[in-house]
Amino acid sequence: MTIRTEPFYLNIGPQHPSTHGVFRLRVTLDGEVVVGLEPIIGYLHRGIEKLAETRTYTQNIPFTDRLDYLSSMTNNLAYCMAVEKVGAVKVPERAEYLRIIFSEIMRISSHMMAVGFFLNDLGAMMTPVLYMWREREKIMDMFEMVCGQRLLYNYMRVGGVSQDLPEAFMPAVKKFLAEMPRYIDEYDQLLAQNEILLARSKGVGVLSRDTAIAIGASGPVLRASGVKWDIRKMDPYSIYDRFDFEVPTGDSGDCYDRYWVRMLEIRQSVRILEQAIAQIPAKGPICADVPQFFRPPRGEAYGYVEAPKGNIGFYIVSDGSIAPYRVHIYPPTLINITALQDMVMGWKVADLIIIFGSIDVVLGEIDR
């Protein structure tokens, strides 16, 4: 006698703590094993690309904060760089340094959240996240000091940044940089050789090098698969060519590598920050002379940066008026989840949660 079997459909989300936002997964299960998966997105779609067409170039900057809200600074930067490319705006030296300093601090903050919540998904409920938040809190304080905001900064402007540093900032960032290596050592001591972390993430959710390139993955997800591709090195924007840093890569492309690449990148960001703090000119203009109603000439440009989660980019078409004709936001995390199906196939539901967590997604960016 044969036993009749049928697949089991499991719906995860959109309201579920492990989906990092409003993300829905329709999973096909054979027992406990994943045999099919379909991500369903759009619950947070706000139509930012459409809204941007009716606002001035400067008015669009706050929208970019609301994409990947865990790394608002890099979103600001990518958008401003795209507008500067269309309008051929030259950014003053001090502003370039300020931009780099805040992007790198943002990268540290974003990676700490990624690692913390990855461990949260693994079952280490809240403890690693609170360790990470200890340092993130200091970062938030620094951001608050300079632009009065703790999450959505709206700090960069076309041609520079909005405000100069307050007096208290430099001592705070120097203290932070002096302490940080010790804290990263502490995390590594707690996590890197942790038996549970190794057992749950080594060899789990492997993304091969070829698949990573084919799906156009970027950021730590691409580098964990062994592709040494970092825009800061390969296409140095702003003043990244002045700094000495390494591009860490993984070799197997599993969840552990993605975690480990992020930890190494935090160390490199600290290195870049130390150099930037030492090199920044003490005085100088922080923003180019750009009119409030900026009218770039007709044309198009693509500005992109190495954001913590991948290469976020803005493709802007200008028709010479005060509002952009078209703004396209290239969302790296949406591209990174293209291969989610390949990565989870054959793994159990509990592994699906950590594989998804290891990609580090923010739904504000996926849905726009």
Partner 1 sequence: MTVAINCEETGKKLQEVFPGSVISTGKADIVVDANKLLEVAGYLKNTAGLDFDYLTFVTAVDFLDYMEIVYRLVSLKHNQSLILKTRCYDRENPVVPSVVSLWRAAYYQEREIFDLFGIKFDGHPDMRRLLLWEGFVGHPLRRDYL
- Please identify which residue in 35, 326, 349, 350 interacts with partner 1, judged by CB under 8 A: 326
49 counts as binding partner 1 under rule CB under 8 A: yes
Least CB distance from residue 339 to partner 1, whole Å? Answer: 8
Looking at the Cβ atoms of 242 and 348, the one nearer to partner 1 is 242
Q: Which stretch binds partner 1 (CB under 8 A): 141-149, 253-261, 282-290, 322-330?
A: 322-330
- Of 188 and 300, the one with the shorter C-beta distance to partner 1 is 300
Q: Which position among 330, 352, 353, 365 is part of the footprint of partner 1 (CB under 8 A)? A: 330
Task: Name residues whose C-beta falls within 8 Å of residue 45's C-beta, 6 or more positions apart in sequence.
Answer: 367, 368
Q: Is 235 in the site for partner 1 (CB under 8 A)?
A: yes
Give min distance, CB of 218 to partner 1, in A: 8
HEC per residue, the chain: CCCCCCCEEEEECCEEHHHCEECEEEEEEECCEEEEEEEECCCCCCCHHHHHCCCCCCCCHHHHHCCCCCCHHHHHHHHHHHHHHHHCCCCCHHHHHHHHHHHHHHHHHHHHHHHHHHHHHHCCCCHHHHHHHHHHHHHHHHHHHHHCCCCCCCCEECCEECCCCCCCHHHHHHHHHHHHHHHHHHHHHHHCCCHHHHHHHCCCCCCCHHHHHHCCCCCHHHHHCCCCCCHHHHCCCCCHHHCCCCCCCCCCCCHHHHHHHHHHHHHHHHHHHHHHHHHCCCCCCCECCCCCCCCCCCEEEEEEEEECCEEEEEEEEECCCCCCCEEEEECHHHHHHHHHHHHHCCCEHHHHHHHHHHHCCCHHHHHC
- Binder of partner 1 out of 7, 17, 31, 42 (CB under 8 A): 42
Stretch 279-318: interaction string toward partner 1, x if CB under 8 A: -----------------------x-x------x-x-x-x-
Q: Which stretch binds partner 1 (CB under 8 A): 22-30, 65-73, 105-113, 210-218?
A: 210-218
Among 22, 82, 158, 215, binds partner 1 (CB under 8 A): 215
| Interface segment toward partner 1; rule CB under 8 A; list 63-71, 142-150, 276-284, 333-341 | 333-341
Q: In whole angstroms, how close is the CB of 342 to partner 1 at the nearest point? A: 9
Nearer to partner 1 by C-beta: 184 or 327? 327
x-marked contacts with partner 1 along 158-197 as a string, rule CB under 8 A: ----------------------------------------
Q: Nearer Cβ to partner 1, position 204 or 339?
A: 339
Q: How far apart are the first and last CA of the chain?
A: 53
Q: Which residues bind partner 1 (CB under 8 A)?
A: 41-42, 45, 47, 49-50, 211, 213-216, 218, 227, 229, 234-236, 302, 304, 311, 313, 315, 317, 325-326, 328, 330, 334-335, 338-339, 367-368
